[in-house]
Amino acid sequence: MTNTLVVSAHPEPKSFTHAWARATVDAARGFGEVQTSDLYAMGFDPAERAELYGHEGRFDPLRVQEEAVAAGSLPADLAAEVAKIRAADLLVLHFPIWWFGAPAMLKGWIDRALVHGALHLVEERFEKGPCIGKRALICCSTGCRAAECGPDGREGDLRLQLWPLAHALRYCGFTVLAPECVHEVHGYHEAPTRDAFAARIAGVLDGQGALLDGLGDRPVWASNPAGDFDALGRLLPGAPVLSPFIRHP
């Protein structure tokens, strides 16, 4: 049995993002418990700041987060997100790519819900992170063509656009799977043939069950493990280059 947490971030309930997230929820119910965090529907506050903690004095987010965990005084919305993440075996993130990355709403969830002192500590990160053994799958969409998000694409490689998010999850210990992306989500390039567009989108939704069923065979998004770096955080000479965006000097 797999406990799945589905986090979604799109301001339009009728968007493709939410239709796809619902397909994930429906499919995940077939193999265990499902939790959801529909960030816009929850009114999640993405802007980390002192007043959310009732904190007075200088606000150092990492310190205040850690102190709140130790004192058991984490804001209720963050405590709930931490509990969901701890209970989950699989995290599935659904969002549109805006400006070559996650929308601010989802970035705010990363900034706030990946609480320091709960889901990462200086001595517990990457392969020692609290989320070791959990898997994460990014399901995103773009309005552009797939070619524009290729390694030679004008918009930048999809993995370049998703890299900060993936690395944040890895930092907490998640195993990040190869992302799933639906391009041309507005169907502009298929405009003369709306039926073809509708059929393509329906195929994505109908196929989500099979996609989740196949996660065991899905490649992991390669990156160098912490052991490949020296005490200053530099790739050791002779270590293989596993991450697509790292290189020996």
Binding residues for its own copies, per CB under 8 A? 11-12, 14-15, 40, 46-50, 58-62, 98-105, 107-108, 110-111, 114, 143-145, 147-148, 150-157, 160-161, 163-164, 167-168, 171, 186, 224, 226, 229, 232-235, 243, 245-249
Secondary element (H or E) of residue 182: strand 180-182
CB of 27 or CB of 197, closer to its own copies = 197
Say how many Å lie between the first and final Cα of the chain, rounded: 45
Could you tell me the smallest distance in angstroms from the CB atom of residue 132 to its own copies?
A: 17
Q: Cα 208 to the chain's mean position, in Å? A: 17
Residue placing its CB nearer to its own copies in the complex, 56 or 195: 56
Choose between 44 and 208: whose C-beta lies nearer to its own copies. 44
Minimum gap (Å) between residue 95 Cβ and its own copies: 12
- If the CB atoms of residues 110 and 211 are measured against its own copies, the closer one turns out to be 110
Amino acid present at 185: V
* Minimum separation from the CB atom of position 29 to its own copies (A): 27
Q: How many CA atoms lie within 13 A of 213 on its CB side?
A: 8
Give the 3-state DSSP-derived string for 6-40, with helices as H, strands as E and coil as C: EEECCCCCCCHHHHHHHHHHHHHHHHCCEEEEEHH
Amino acid of residue 36: T
Q: How far is the CB of 22 from its own copies (least distance, A)?
A: 16
Q: How far is the CB of 213 from its own copies (least distance, A)?
A: 31
* CB-count burial class (<10 Å; 0-12, 13-18, 19+) for 64: buried
Nearer to its own copies, 4 or 223 (CB): 223
